[in-house]
Amino acid sequence: MSRVLVPVRYPLSAHSKRTLASAIDLADERDADLTVLHVNLYHRGDDVTRRDLKRGVERVSDRFARVRFVVREGFLVEETILEEIVATDADVVVIGRKQVGRWRRAIRRIIGDPDIEAFLDEKVDCELVTVG
């Protein structure tokens, strides 16, 4: 069974809603499980719960059967997402175009000038889908 991972902000922004909708479509197409991830940042004092995330997502869509809601704590969103990719053995990560720049900056700190798709393929063996 394949797994699609979609990191989102909470409360869901218009951009997060589009990214989520694309991830749901992709999970349906591939008959995959879906993991919806939110990262509470330590330095911002975020306190979103799994229940908050689930209710927020359910308000915008009811089209998923096999979905898991995850809230993680972290200092860097990108690093926490990478940890979740590994922990869930995700096959596909769906991110918004706005997140790509942040990913590049974060990965640049690790490996220099990154090709994000190549980095994810090499380091964690997953596909990256970017939503505009």
List, for residues 87-114, the tens digit of each pLDDT value.
Answer: 999 999 998 877 766 666 766 666 666 5
What is the per-residue pLDDT for 108?
A: 67
Higher-confidence position of 45 and 68: 68
**Model confidence at 52: pLDDT above 80:** yes
Work out the pLDDT band at 72, boundaries 50, 70, 90: very high
Domain that holds residue 15: 3-131
| Collapsed DSSP state (helix, strand, coil) of residue 91 | coil
24-48 burial by CB neighbour count: b if 16+ within 10 A, else e? bebbeeeebbbbbbbbbeeeeeeee
Domain count, the chain: 1
Q: What is the CATH number of the domain that holds 18?
A: 3.40.50.620
Work out the pLDDT band at 127, boundaries 50, 70, 90: confident
* Whole-number percent of the chain with pLDDT over 90: 57
φ/ψ bin of 112: left (φ > 0), alpha (ψ from -120 to 50), beta (otherwise): left
State mean pLDDT over 16-31: 95
Q: What is the residue-averaged pLDDT of the chain?
A: 87
State mean pLDDT over 61-87: 89
What is the per-residue pLDDT for 115?
A: 66
**Model confidence at 7: pLDDT above 70:** yes
